[in-house]
Structures are given as structure tokens and as C-alpha cells.
Structure 1
Amino acid sequence: MATYVYLGPSLPRDQAERILPAEYLDPIAMGDLYTLVRTRARRGDRVAIVDGFFEQVPAVWHKEILYAIEQGIAVYGASSMGALRAAELHGFGMRGLGRVFEAYRDLVIEDDDEVAVAHATQEEGYRSLSTAMVSLRFGLDGLRQAGRISAEQHDRLCAYAKSQHYNVRSWADTYAYALGLGLGEDVLAALRDVAAEPDAKAQDAVALLRHLAALEDGADEPREPGFVLEQTGLWRDLTQSQEARVASESLQAALSSAPIDAEVVEHARAASPLRDALLREALLMKIARESRAAAPPGAQDLKAAVFRIAAKNGLRSSEDLRAWRAQQGLSDADWLALLQMDARVQQLSLQAMAGVDAYLLAALKANGRYADAVANVAAIRQRYGETWLKQLSAEDFGIGYPDLQRWYEHRYGPMLPDPETHAQALGFQGLSGFVTHVLGEYLLAQGIEEGAAASGEPMH
């Protein structure tokens, strides 16, 4: 049985790990739980949601949680996003715990911003940079019940804190407001005392982790869900949008399960003859996987990916491809993941191609190819005129387009999946401009200077 915990600013991770051994994940966002269930979490596992993203990216969907419950996974919530979702879904089997959950469940609080805080980056452990309204509310209520502040003072301080944006709420700000109101030292001392205590969200997070740590094996036996998950259009859109990520993480999990692979990766970093090209391709794959801009690859995208991978590896038949897949240890799921990743990289490359010209010039210079490129263009212009881009035609030189295509593919590799798509992938608006540049290079390479009768068929 595995336990997964989505944790962020509510509790420092090192403190959480001392309470409950588990796999700790970043604050949850849309698609995270669906992907976890599709790739790693299994029936009988446990998922605890403490923190989640609110504004930076879309929040975790209710249906993702219902999907996990339907698959026999026990889903808990407390403290922050977990408390909010548990209050909304406790009737469907999500298990809530703590004062924040109870306050949402009982409609004592309703707004999402009650648990929202500003926080630092992942590298800084998502530490809180503000204090949640619910923590201020519970702390002030505790002071009121203890008789350390009056009901009027409680209401006034609560109303002030609620009027502030969540990213500036804090005990220090509340204290400064109380000081400005001229409240007495006894009230100010009470505020200082409560500010020094663990806040409500931290207390609930600790309570949830201790609860999970105390559970005996079998205490979370899967329960039959009391609902049927509807396959709505929005749900299908969400699942489809996550398929590339699911495939990628499935491949990553499969690779990481082989003990030798860690050594293979380190060896490739250090000593592979293709090291630099491999690192660049891996970087593109990482960017493609993390991008939320690309749409899920379609059937034609995957077909083009097959052609690209086959051509890159010199595979000329289906038999060659099957043998190569077996050699590389690619199962059907791994192969699909690889195709989806390649298609996604291609898609993002096409999206970015419009603004790449300046960088291509820089790349030419960085690789010592700029002078050669200038010399080639100058030679073509000298031989065929400065308007060669508008005037050169294969027919005028008696060159058939199939012959021109064969020459190009022998020299530069195949035009996949077809010449027009290949030209667009290189940044050309259409086939015409691409063909003219190929023809110019061909004529220059062949030393052809005079036109001849037209022959051949159009490139297709």
C-alpha cells in the first residue's frame, strides 16, 4: 500500500516526513491526481490532499477525486485545498479531517480565499509568505473565547483581515492595525502570543498525517463508491488533455524501474558519442511535457512521429521497426508514450518557428557556419541573378521534381511525412519557397549554369 501526500505551504516537508513516511508531492493542480491514478496509484493506496494551487494554474477538479475514489483509492483532505474539496465531496466518499474541513462542511466559512496564502517557490519549500484568513479567524476566535479580546474587538479585527488580499494577510499586519486603533497592551500581547503558535492549517495537516500514520494495515480497504462517474464532455476533454503526460510518466516510471537505467543515463551524460544531441533532445522533451500550451496529438501527428523516428534510426520496414522496438525494450505503452512525446515536441517547435529567424542566425554563427551560408547565397545570386528566388524554376533546367526530391533526401534526409509538411516544419509558409532554395543549392552543387527543357513531375 502506497501513500501519496500533496503538500506545500501548510507544513514544512521535513516536519511532515518525520510524522508519516510517504511519497510527498508538490501542491496539487488540475490533472495531477488523474495522472497519478493512471500511472502509479493502485487500488488500496491512499492519497492525502493538503495543499493545492489556486491562481497560478487551474485547481484540481472534483471529478479527478471522484475518479480516484471510483478506482478504489482512499482520498483524504485537510488544512487547505484538501479541506475545501473534502467538504464538497465528503458525501461521495472523500474523507475530511480537522477544524478547517469541519468549518467548510458546516458552512461556517465558504470562500476559497479563507485558506489561500502567498508562498515561496518550490526551491524554497513553498514556505508561507502570508497567513490564511482561516488561521487568523480561528486564532482571534480563540482569544475571544479566552476573554483576552472582546467580541467587538474580535469582529473588527476579523473584518479588517477579511478586507485584505490574501497575499498580504498576516498576524503582523493585523497587529499593526490593532496598534493603529489604539487597542491596549493586553490586546497587543494576546496577538503576539497567538501569532507565535502553530496556525490552524499546520495543526490540521499534522493531525491528518498522524491519523494516517496510526492507521493499521487494512484500515483503508476500498469501499464501493456510492456514485457512477458521468463521462461528460468536459471530463473527456480533461482526460484527453492529460494523455501525453500520462504516457510520458508511464514511460518514465517504466524506465526508472530498471536498476541499470540510472547507470545508463549517467554514462550517456559522460561518454556517449551523441551526448550533446541527446541532451538537447531530452531538453526539448522536458519542455514539451511541461508545456500546457500544446493540444493532445492526433492520429496524423502520431503517424508523422512514426515516420520521423523510423527515418532517424534507418528503419525501412515494419519488420525493421518491430525488431528495433524489441531491441530498445519498448512495450506498446512505451512506444505510444514515445510517439506522443515526439509529436508534442514537433507541435511546440512549429508554434515557436515563427520567431526563430534571429536565433537561427545566431546558431549559424555559434557553429561557425555563417560565412559558408553567406558564400553559398552569394554564389547562387552571382550565377542566377539577384532575383533568383522569384525566377528560378526546375522546368527551365530540365530537372524533374522527383529527381530533385531524391537528391535532397539523399543529402539531407527524408521529407516526412510529406514535402509540404516538411517545409512547414522548417519554417516555410508553403512548398514553393522551400523548393526554390533546394533548387538553388542543387544547381550550385551540380555546377549547372544554363537552362534546358522542362521535364519531370511536380514534387508531391
Structure 2
Amino acid sequence: MTVHLFLGPTLAAAEAAAVLDAVILPPAAHGDVYRAAQRGATVIGIVDGYFEVMPAVWHKEILWAMREGVHVLGSASMGALRAVELAPFGMEGVGAVFEAYQRAELADDDEVAVAHAPAAYGYRPLSVAMVNIRATLAAAEERGVIRPATRVAMLRIAKQLFYPDRSYPRLLSEASATGLDAGELSALKDFLPEGQIDQKRADALAMLRVIEARLSAGLAPKQVRYHFEATIFWDSLRQDAAPLAEPGEGSWMQSALLDEARLHPVAYPLARKGALTRLLSRALSDEHTPRPLDDETDAAILSFRRARGLLHAEAMEGWLRANGLGAEEFARLMESEAQVAAVQRWAAPHISSHVVDQLRLDDLYVRLWARAREKQRLLEEAGLADPDLAAAPLSREELLAWYAERRGEGAAPRDLSEAALQAGFRDEPMFVRALLREYHYVRLCEPRER
């Protein structure tokens, strides 16, 4: 019998392979269960799956697979959601997450959602699932690390966070900002390295053990009682699910692309400057900075995805396809991005004079120098030359939103450290101080502009 498993950030492929002999596939998307059944799968286990931007695995393809005699089980993440929805038809759910949804203790999809790295990095999770936070805080309460009221308050804080922002450091920081007991939070921080619970992983492993036990006992083809209706939508899925050829990457395509860029009045000059920066960064990194660590590359990935609205894995996969990149090529690109960031941090103390020279060459020096002198004069007269955010008429978040609106951007930067680095500031405090000076200067100038 052939087992096909759809895995991603919940469970590493190597861990799954150590438990069960199976074909390991990426997170399930629309048409993937149909393809697996067509390839001869007799058991399909769904753990992770795509959703929203990329069409999710369809209920009807699971129903068709079971009608064809395939056993379909789900747990932990998308698999648990589909198992709850299709349990009346014979799909089997395994694990605490499935059971919580089945008892209606959980309802929202975001309970199992996480941001994760691409395939080349093993779909490593970049955030913590809400169900894991629930299990961990329950364990902390049971051990006497935190009180029940603290657990409830922290669950409320975690639930209010956007799912890619959920992490234990962020949760502890937000909890501290709301005034929760510092002693309890310190005890929880000490508890987390060994005490945190990965409920999704535990559920996925439980499903693999169930499948192994079923196979060992002998498994007859799946029997169902429902009638499967082959609609025009089903015919459409069957056509869409046909295997697609990989896009060609012939050298003529790259040459044609470069011709288009070279003829563009803006694209090539900008791309050439950026490419030169990357080339020099690679050369300098060998001498001044070590190879990026996994954490630094993960940070580069998360920053890239946030800046482009690609936090959902489906949107990320769509971007990769549109830009002709595979997972491994993207991983190399992000490692290069982390390398550039490391060189930028190293170069920050040394680059200022060169920036000034470039401003002269770009005919910006005179205008910016005049504005800088006028700003300093007005701020000194108003006693605001070195402003304090604590005494400002707006919060840090409002200041960042004001900055984003003034630049014509849709939202304030989510990663302030990255925004500061990209803007050329040494650190976050330096960046915030400059923003506050700009805010006060604009306010002082407003009466003269009316």
C-alpha cells in the first residue's frame, strides 16, 4: 500500500520518514489530493495545506478519493479542518486539534495558521500557531508558573495578534506592556525553552502512528455510502489538476529580459545600481561579515514577505511562480539578501561621507542642506532640538503611521529594525528620534503654509 503525506511547517519530512514509509509531499493545495489518488495512493494523510490566495484542497476531491477506495486522514492543521468538515462522509481526524474543532471549542482557521519559510528551508515555521500557544499556556498554568487569570489575559493578547506576528518573545513583550505581573512573565520566560508544547507536531505524529497501525493490521479499500456527483466544476478540477510542465529557463529568455530592461528608461539604471550593491556586498562579506545564520536568513524572508504582502504561503508561492523562481533559487536569493543586510550594518559607520558625495552628484546636496539648517533653527527656537517621545503629543505607533502616510505608503513599517536599517539609521532609537524631529518641524512649518 502507498501512503502520501502532505506536510509543511508542522512536521519535518525527515521526522515523518522515521515513523512511516510514505511519499512526502508539500502542503496540499487545490487538486493535490486528486493527483495523489491518480498516482496510486491508497492512504492519504493531510497535515498542512494552503489557503486563501492559492485555492485550498477541495472537499470534493477528498470525497472522490474516498469513493475510489482511498483512506483519507487529517490532523493538526488544514488536515484537522477538512477532517471535521468531512467526518460525516468518512474522513478521519486524529489529535487534540481535530477534537477541539469537532467539539466547537475552536472555530477560527487562524488557530492553526503560521508563517513559514519556503521548501528549501524545510517550511520552517516563522511564527507560533495559536493552538500551540494555548497548549503551552495551559501547561504553564498546570505547573504553577502562571495563574489562570494570567493565562486568560495572555490568550486574549495572542489572539489579537496577526498570526504571522505570533511568537513567544512578542507575546511576553505585549503582556509586559499591558501590565501583567513581571514575576509571572519572568517565570514563564524561563519555562518556555523546555516547557512549550507543539500540539500540532504531536497531532501529526499521532496520525502517522494511526496509519502505521492500520497498515500493520491490514487495510481494505475505503467503503463509502454517499453518491458522488460529477459536476462541471469537478470536470474543471480534473483538467486543472493535470501535471504542469516546469517553465523553461533557456538563456535566450534571460537575454530577452535584459534587452527589455536595458531599453527601459528607469528599470535598468536602478537594477544596475542594486546589482552592483549586491556584487560588492558579496565580495565584502567574505572579509568583514560571516555567512548569514539561519535566523538571519529567516528574518530576511519574513521582512521580504511583509514588505510585499506575501505573508500567506499561497501568495508567496504565486509570487515565486510569477517570477520564475523555484524554492531553492529563492532560498539563495534570501541568503544573499541577509548577506547584503549584514554588510549594510558593517558599512553604516563608514558610508556617510560617500552618501554626502552622492548627494552632490545627484544635485540634492544644496536643497537638503538648506532644509537641515532651517529645521535645526526652528527646533532650537522651540526647545525641540532633542525631542523626547514620552513628552510628544502622539504615541510611537501614531508617529510611525504619520511617517508612512507622509511617504504615501499604505501602512506603518511592521519591522522597525529593518526599516531603520534600510533608511540608513544605526538603530531604532536613532530612527525614531529623526522621525520625531521631522514631525515637530512639519508642525512648526504648518502655520506658514496655510
Question: For this structure pair, what is the TM-score category when the shorter chain's length is used for normalisation?
Answer: 0.5 to 0.7
Give the deviation of 1:234 after TM superposition: 2.4
Match of 1:33 in 2: 33
Match of 1:2 in 2: 2
In the aligned structure 1, how far is the partner of 2:34 from the partner of 2:105?
30
In the aligned structure 2, how far is the partner of 1:88 from the partner of 1:152?
33
Match of 1:134 in 2: 131
Correspondence 1:255-266 to 2 at 5 A? none
Q: Does 1:168 align with 2:153?
A: no
Q: Provide structure 2 residue ranges, at least 5 long, that are not aligned to the other structure.
A: 264-450
Give the deviation of 1:64 after TM superposition: 1.1
Q: Provide structure 1 residue ranges, at least 5 long, that are not aligned to the other structure.
A: 249-284, 291-351, 363-460
Structure with higher RCO (Cα < 8 A, 6+ apart): 2
Q: Which stretch of the first structure deviates more once superposed, 99-108 or 16-25?
A: 16-25
Match of 1:90 in 2: 87
Helix, strand or coil for the counterpart of 1:48?
strand
Native 8 Å contact 1:74 1:220 kept in 2: no
Native 8 Å contact 2:45 2:74 kept in 1: yes
Look up the equivalent residue of 1:150 and give its one-letter code.
R
Match of 2:247 in 1: 287
- Following TM superposition, the consecutive aligned residue runs of length 4 or more in structure 1 with deviations greater than 4 angstroms are 355-362
Match of 1:189 in 2: 187
Helix, strand or coil for the counterpart of 1:167?
helix
In the aligned structure 2, how far is the partner of 1:216 from the partner of 1:40?
16
Helix, strand or coil for the counterpart of 2:247?
helix
Helix, strand or coil for the counterpart of 1:47?
strand
In the aligned structure 1, how far is the partner of 2:39 from the partner of 2:15?
28
Look up the equivalent residue of 1:57 and give its one-letter code.
M
Tell me: CA distance 1:49–1:147, structure 2 relative to 1, closer, same or farther (3 Å). Answer: same
Correspondence 1:330-369 to 2 at 5 A? none
Native 8 Å contact 1:28 1:53 kept in 2: yes
Give the deviation of 1:187 after TM superposition: 4.0
Larger gyration radius, structure 1 or structure 2: 1
Q: Which stretch of the first structure deviates more once superposed, 105-114 or 48-57?
A: 48-57
Taking structure 2 as the reference length, the TM-score comes to 0.53
Look up the equivalent residue of 1:139 and give its one-letter code.
T
In the aligned structure 1, how far is the partner of 2:30 from the partner of 2:193?
33
Q: Percent identity at matched positions?
A: 38
Tell me: CA distance 1:360–1:113, structure 2 relative to 1, closer, same or farther (3 Å). Answer: closer
Helix, strand or coil for the counterpart of 2:135?
helix
Taking structure 1 as the reference length, the TM-score comes to 0.52
Native 8 Å contact 1:6 1:52 kept in 2: yes
Native 8 Å contact 2:145 2:187 kept in 1: no
Native 8 Å contact 1:119 1:126 kept in 2: yes
Give the deviation of 1:155 after TM superposition: 1.6
In the aligned structure 2, how far is the partner of 1:80 from the partner of 1:9?
10
Give the deviation of 1:14 after TM superposition: 1.5
Helix, strand or coil for the counterpart of 2:131?
helix
Give the deviation of 1:131 after TM superposition: 0.3
Kindly provide the CA deviation profile for residues 320-357 of structure 1, in whole angstroms up to 9, marking residues without a partner as x. Answer: xxxxxxxxxxxxxxxxxxxxxxxxxxxxxxxx9xx989
In the aligned structure 2, how far is the partner of 1:104 from the partner of 1:183?
32
Tell me: CA distance 1:359–1:163, structure 2 relative to 1, closer, same or farther (3 Å). Answer: same
Helix, strand or coil for the counterpart of 2:158?
helix
Give the deviation of 1:358 after TM superposition: 5.3
Match of 1:20 in 2: 20
Match of 1:112 in 2: 109
In the aligned structure 1, how far is the partner of 2:78 from the partner of 2:190?
27
Tell me: CA distance 1:110–1:219, structure 2 relative to 1, closer, same or farther (3 Å). Answer: farther
